[in-house]
């Protein structure tokens, strides 16, 4: 055999195998998505998301203190209100006594060093379940949507969020949010993480069950990206970077590794986030339960693929497990 044929000597040992990664997994790469509801004492299992619950603010300390002790550094909050009047403009989104703003303040006092991100969208708070404001014919009315999304983002930042992360996919919202943060004196304090390449995926089902945010009619295909659209994703990434995004996100993650890789090349000077969404998490669990693979091994393989593609930050429901595994 030729000298150039032999590679296996380079990865024969578990330690030399670790060196084959261009970047090692670390605990700080993981951001944990958390559902906050408006019953302060809630701890309600979510049937389609193994191990995940909807939490009331009185339960946050007991739930998160052990994770913070294990090295949890960041969370992203999703509000799930039940006792509120949803309307066309998502008024409850930034209610000062609503679950998200109360949770920001509570977490800030409980865990002063925890990085608190907030998803910013209207679908959990609109009576029609769409992510923006609508025209009479049911299509998105972009200017007031952007204005409202920016208002909500600024109110989360005012409440103490370290990061606002708009997932609505309205055109122009990054610029409007950045401007809003600057005008509020928070431009230097609050990160703007854009769900830049967010696809109209079938993998959001468990989340929509958990958050009660399924649209009451139609779908999200006129604002979330078509799954085939690599070019549009590249344009959205570049646009959002130009509009002032501090972090670029790709979502979902595993079926879109090429897009993560594109993002890492197009915006090499930004952190690149990806979201292993609810349906991906449920898939990994379902395969494990069906005996297709060992769950932990597959969970590692899934996040290694994202880091290999170029992700520096991973939003995943597996975060508590990785805090144990790493
Ligand atoms: C709200 C939002 C969704 C997710 C994050 N923010 C659902 C959607 O767009 O329908 C999905 C997260 C997940 O599936 O884990 N816009
Ligand atoms: Zn939404």
Q: What is the mean pLDDT of residues 111-115?
A: 98
Q: Which pLDDT value is given to residue 168?
A: 98
**Does the annotation list 234 as a binding residue?**
no
Q: CATH number of 24-325: 3.40.50.800, 3.20.20.70, 3.30.460.20, 3.40.50.970? A: 3.20.20.70
pLDDT at residue 86 is higher than 90: yes
pLDDT tens digits, one per residue of 133-164? 999 999 999 999 999 999 999 999 999 999 99
Q: Give the ranges where the chain is alpha helix by DSSP (H).
A: 14-18, 60-69, 99-110, 142-159, 173-183, 205-211, 230-243, 257-266, 278-289, 295-309, 319-325
The yes-or-no verdict on residue 72 having pLDDT over 90 is yes
Sequence spans of domains, the chain = 24-325
Task: Provide the pLDDT confidence category of residue 122 given band limits of 50, 70 and 90.
Answer: very high
pLDDT for the residue 212 = 86
Residue located nearest, by CA, to atom 11 of ligand 1? 204
The model's pLDDT over 210-252, given as tens digits with 9 standing for 90+, comes to 998 899 999 999 999 999 999 999 999 999 999 999 999 999 9
Q: Cβ neighbours of residue 104 under 8 Å, at least 6 residues apart?
A: 77, 116, 118, 156, 159, 160, 161
Of the candidates 59, 86, 175, 198, the residue annotated as catalytic is: 198
Nearest CA to ligand 1 atom 2: 167
**27 among known catalytic residues:** no
The pLDDT-based confidence of 15 (bands split at 50, 70, 90) is very high
3-state secondary structure of 26: coil
Q: Which atom of ligand 1 is nearest to the CA of 276?
A: 15
Q: Which atom of ligand 1 is nearest to the CA of 277?
A: 15
Q: What is the pLDDT of residue 303?
A: 98
């Amino acid at each position: 055999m030729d000298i150039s044929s032999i590679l296996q000597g380079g990865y024969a040992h578990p330690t030399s195998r670790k060196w084959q990664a261009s970047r090692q997994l670390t605990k700080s790469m993981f951001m944990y998505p958390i559902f906050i509801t408006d019953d302060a004492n809630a701890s309600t299992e979510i049937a389609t998301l193994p191990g995940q619950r909807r939490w009331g603010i009185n339960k946050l300390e007991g739930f998160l203190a052990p994770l913070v002790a294990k090295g949890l550094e960041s969370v992203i909050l999703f509000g799930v209100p039940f006792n509120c009047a949803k309307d066309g403009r998502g008024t409850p989104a930034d209610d000062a006594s609503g679950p998200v703003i109360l949770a920001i303040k509570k977490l800030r006092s409980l865990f002063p060093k925890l990085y608190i991100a907030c998803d910013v969208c209207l679908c959990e708070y609109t009576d029609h379940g769409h992510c923006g404001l609508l025209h009479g014919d049911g299509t998105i009315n972009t200017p007031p949507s952007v204005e409202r999304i920016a208002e909500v983002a600024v109110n989360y930042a005012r409440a103490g969020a370290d990061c606002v992360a708009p997932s609505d996919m309205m055109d122009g919202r990054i610029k409007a949010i950045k401007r809003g943060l600057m005008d509020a004196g928070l431009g230097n304090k609050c990160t703007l993480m854009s769900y830049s390449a967010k696809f109209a995926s079938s993998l959001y089902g468990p989340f929509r069950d958990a958050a009660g945010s399924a649209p009451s009619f139609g779908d999200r295909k006129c604002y979330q990206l078509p799954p085939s659209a690599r070019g549009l994703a590249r344009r959205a990434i570049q646009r959002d970077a130009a509009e002032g995004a501090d972090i670029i996100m790709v979502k979902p993650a595993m079926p879109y590794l090429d897009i993560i890789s594109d993002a890492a090349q197009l915006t090499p000077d930004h952190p690149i986030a990806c979201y292993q969404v609810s349906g991906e998490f449920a898939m990994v669990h379902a395969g494990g339960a069906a005996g297709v693979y060992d769950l932990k091994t597959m969970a590692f393989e899934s996040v290694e693929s994202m880091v290999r593609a170029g992700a520096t930050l991973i939003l995943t429901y597996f975060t508590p497990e990785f805090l144990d595994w790493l």
